[in-house]
């Protein structure tokens, strides 16, 4: 009995258990299925991955996904595997034999999705094989990276169009959350979109999000007040790693449960913090901008920027992590004048001179003892403090130099890299059995591993857990690791222990530092662009006349935007015209609180004001003026 053909909705229901698509998703999917090159601009949380995963599952063949973020790659591959969909990731931190096996599986196996970092597209190993793969779709994620006008330009993205010549039948879908009009034009041009292409742009307006900017000389007090006024999960963004722990500790001391997250923590620490926050064991996560990619938590009620972001693209992406469930949410910025000056200085320092770039590059070559013309595609564990100390350099300046060298396509730098232990059996099952018979000491371990991880070990690398194997075997994890290393030496198994250190990858063969292929003009262009983006964020923060949401929409080229009516600028405008309504609210609040102690949301439910934002602003003013005060349980009382 034949089954009816798959439709986008039937695939969505089967694999994701959703009853309907979000706005624009179905239109984007149909454009891809019709074979048109497609650009999709969907703000953070807009469900970008479904826009290419659904059509790829309907079509025959392999979907190649180009993305620069190893963590996001691994996350999406794991998510697809949980749904029973075959997917693999190939990136520079993998061994040659891992990459070799995965690419072979994409040629002859049942792999549906191949995730690649952009640098891998130029390797001989990939290019010699991709023409023998049945490629149905090319996906370019984080597509703004292709544009020098973008906030995260990466030269390897400019080479993606070369892939089209190797697999000319496959259409391209490019996806991004944040792109200005000039960036969109670059994406279409550099990816060689074909005639008849489609562009889908979801509005940057967020109807359920209120943006509030507060200037204060006492930022801690303002932060605590904001967290008191808005119940529910929250993210607080800061710039320095040290500040994450300091601020989280301070909040815990005030009775507000908090944890912290930054790229310098090891994988176990990061995972523990993220899971505690996701599960609701703590309410607040204080984090650097390393936190957020792939976070699937829809009920975040407030995102607070305690330090200023460097550009509006980053701000919009981070603030957009609030209210993905569609319920009323807030994005707040707390700043003082010194922050504006500090941001300017920080951005200027983040663009080192060519001479300094040469110094750091030569230092890397010496540190790893790399000969001229070698190490292309090789990755190395990197301790920035050890490196800086050895060469008498400042860690922050080294970090900036590595980011700039990355922007020039010379190295890749991953500061929060984690790869679990990988295991593969490269010989036939009969040979493994013969080995077990001849080496009975290894027999129990091999049997346990095969029982735990199955036949997939013969066809692919499988993520394993030494502690889990150790518990089953009543051994220590170190003993298991030692045994696996011995099996690796004997060519019975191919074993790659877990990595949990920052990585530096040489994208090009080691260069002569004095003749470093760096474009001085482009360096200066990037510096000026960064400074112009700082000016845009400064204007956004300090403006008191333009609706915050309209400012963002205008920045991203969205015309004729209407005032949101919810941000602090819109509320301030209403206050001027509603003095009587404000006074009535104030009197009602004082009346209710003369007989009750209530939290802000309880007070709002009691009064049921017509204008929520105006009510919140009146409460804030009354606290600022000393008419109301919070007690230790965050309830309001009259003073």
Angle, alpha carbons 379-382-387 (nearest 5°): 135
- Domain stops at, among 169, 201, 233: 201
381 and 477 together in one domain: no
1: confidence class by pLDDT, cuts 50, 70, 90: very low
376 and 425 together in one domain: no
146 and 161 together in one domain: yes
Long-range contacts of 160-164 (CB under 8 A, 24+ apart): 160/66, 160/118, 160/121, 160/190, 160/191, 161/190, 161/191, 161/192, 162/121, 162/122, 163/64, 163/121, 163/130, 163/138, 164/138, 164/191, 164/192
289 lies in a domain?
A: no
Kindly tell me if the per-residue pLDDT of 620 is higher than 90.
Answer: no
Residue numbers of the domain that contains 629: 578-639
Q: Any residues with CB less than 8 A from the CB of 129 and at least 6 apart, and which?
A: 103, 104, 106, 107
247 lies in a domain?
A: no
Measured between alpha carbons, how far is 540 from 554 in angstroms, rounded to an integer?
Answer: 11
Q: Percentage helix, strand, coil, to 5, in the chain?
A: 50, 15, 35
CATH label of the domain that carries residue 394: 1.10.10.10
- For residue 213, list its beta bridge partners: 333
Total domains, the chain: 4
313 lies in a domain?
A: no
454 and 526 together in one domain: no
| Mean pLDDT lowest among 89-93, 380-384, 433-437, 452-456 | 89-93
519 and 459 together in one domain: no
The tens digit of pLDDT for each residue in 212-231 reads 999 999 999 999 989 988 88
- Domain stops at, among 201, 231, 259: 201
474 and 587 together in one domain: no
The tens digit of pLDDT for each residue in 381-411 reads 999 999 999 999 999 999 999 999 998 889 9
521 and 509 together in one domain: yes
Angle, alpha carbons 569-573-579 (nearest 5°): 135
Helix (H/G/I), strand (E/B), else coil: 462? strand
Kindly tell me if the per-residue pLDDT of 283 is higher than 80.
Answer: yes
Kindly tell me if the per-residue pLDDT of 4 is higher than 70.
Answer: no
158 and 78 together in one domain: yes
- Amino acid 3: pLDDT: 58
572 lies in a domain?
A: no
177 and 59 together in one domain: yes
The tens digit of pLDDT for each residue in 320-377 reads 999 998 899 999 999 999 999 999 999 988 999 999 999 999 999 999 999 999 998 8
- Amino acid 369: pLDDT: 96
Q: What is the mean pLDDT of the chain?
A: 92
- Domain stops at, among 185, 201, 217: 201
295 lies in a domain?
A: no
Kindly tell me if the per-residue pLDDT of 426 is higher than 70.
Answer: yes
Q: Rounded mean pLDDT of 407-429?
A: 88
456 and 474 together in one domain: yes
- Amino acid 419: pLDDT: 81
Helix (H/G/I), strand (E/B), else coil: 434? helix
167 lies in a domain?
A: yes
Question: What is the per-residue DSSP string for 60-92?
Answer: SSEEEEE-S-HHHHHHHHHHHHHTT--EEEE-T
591 lies in a domain?
A: yes
136 and 56 together in one domain: yes
20 and 150 together in one domain: yes
Measured between alpha carbons, how far is 439 from 422 in angstroms, rounded to an integer?
Answer: 23
Angle, alpha carbons 162-198-194 (nearest 5°): 35
243 lies in a domain?
A: no
Nearest CA to 294 out of 112, 143, 80 is that of 80
């Amino acid at each position: 009995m034949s089954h009816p053909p798959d439709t986008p909705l039937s695939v969505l229901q089967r694999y994701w258990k959703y009853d309907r698509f979000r706005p624009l998703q179905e239109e984007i999917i149909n454009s891809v299925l019709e074979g048109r090159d497609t650009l999709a601009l969907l703000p953070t949380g807009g469900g970008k991955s479904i826009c290419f995963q659904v059509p790829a599952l309907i079509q025959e063949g392999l979907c190649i996904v180009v993305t620069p973020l190893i963590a996001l790659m691994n996350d999406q591959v794991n998510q697809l595997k949980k749904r029973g969909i075959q997917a693999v990731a190939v990136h520079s931190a993998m061994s040659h034999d891992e990459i070799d096996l995965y690419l072979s599986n994409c040629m002859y196996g049942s792999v549906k999705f191949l995730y690649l970092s952009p640098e891998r597209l130029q390797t001989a190993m990939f290019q010699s094989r991709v023409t023998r793969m049945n490629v149905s779709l090319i996906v370019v994620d984080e597509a703004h990276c292709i544009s020098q006008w973008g906030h995260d330009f990466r030269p390897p993205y400019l080479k993606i169009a070369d892939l089209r010549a190797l697999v000319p039948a496959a259409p391209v879908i490019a996806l991004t959350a944040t792109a200005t009009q000039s960036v969109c034009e670059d994406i279409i041009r550099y990816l060689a979109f074909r005639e008849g292409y489609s562009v889908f742009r979801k509005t940057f307006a967020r109807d359920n999000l209120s943006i509030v900017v507060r200037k204060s000389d006492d930022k801690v007090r303002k932060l605590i007040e904001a967290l008191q006024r808005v119940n529910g999960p929250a993210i607080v963004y800061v710039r320095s790693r040290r500040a994450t722990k300091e601020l989280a500790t301070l909040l815990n001391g005030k009775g507000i449960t908090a944890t912290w997250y930054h790229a310098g923590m090891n994988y176990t620490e990061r995972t523990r913090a993220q899971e505690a926050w996701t599960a609701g064991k703590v309410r607040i996560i204080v984090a650097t901008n390393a936190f957020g990619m792939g976070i699937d938590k829809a009920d975040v009620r407030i995102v607070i920027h305690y330090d200023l972001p460097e550009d509006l693209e980053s701000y919009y992406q981070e603030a957009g992590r609030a209210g993905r469930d569609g319920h009323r949410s807030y994005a707040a910025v707390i700043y003082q004048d010194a922050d504006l000056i500090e941001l300017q200085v920080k951005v200027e320092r983040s663009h080192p001179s060519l001479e300094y770039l040469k110094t750091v590059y030569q230092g890397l070559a010496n540190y790893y003892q790399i000969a001229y013309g070698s190490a292309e595609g090789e990755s190395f564990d990197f301790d920035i403090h050890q490196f800086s100390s050895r060469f008498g350099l400042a860690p922050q300046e080294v970090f900036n130099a590595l980011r700039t060298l990355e922007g020039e396509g010379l190295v890749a730098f991953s500061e929060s890299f984690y790869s679990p232990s990988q295991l593969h059996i490269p010989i036939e099952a009969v040979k493994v059995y013969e080995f077990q018979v001849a080496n009975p000491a290894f027999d129990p371990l091999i049997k346990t591993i095969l029982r735990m991880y199955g036949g997939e070990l013969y066809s692919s690398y499988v993520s394993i857990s030494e502690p889990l194997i150790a518990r089953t075997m009543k051994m220590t994890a170190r003993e298991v690791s030692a045994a696996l290393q011995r099996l690796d030496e004997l060519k019975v198994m191919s074993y790659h222990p877990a990595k949990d250190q920052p990585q530096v990858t040489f994208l090009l063969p080691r260069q002569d530092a004095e003749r470093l292929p760096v474009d001085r003009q482009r360096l200066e262009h990037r510096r000026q662009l960064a400074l112009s983006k700082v000016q845009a964020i400064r204007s956004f923060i300090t403006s008191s006349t333009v609706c915050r949401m309209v400012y963002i929409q205008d920045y991203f080229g969205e015309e004729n935007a209407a005032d949101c009516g919810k941000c602090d600028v819109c509320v301030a405008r209403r206050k001027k015209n509603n003095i009587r309504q404000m006074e009535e609210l104030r009197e009602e609040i004082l009346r209710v609180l003369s007989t009750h102690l209530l939290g802000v949301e309880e007070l709002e439910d009691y009064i049921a004001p017509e204008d929520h934002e105006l009510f919140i602003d009146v409460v804030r003013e009354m606290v600022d003026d000393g008419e109301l005060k919070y007690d230790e349980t965050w309830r309001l009382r009259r003073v």
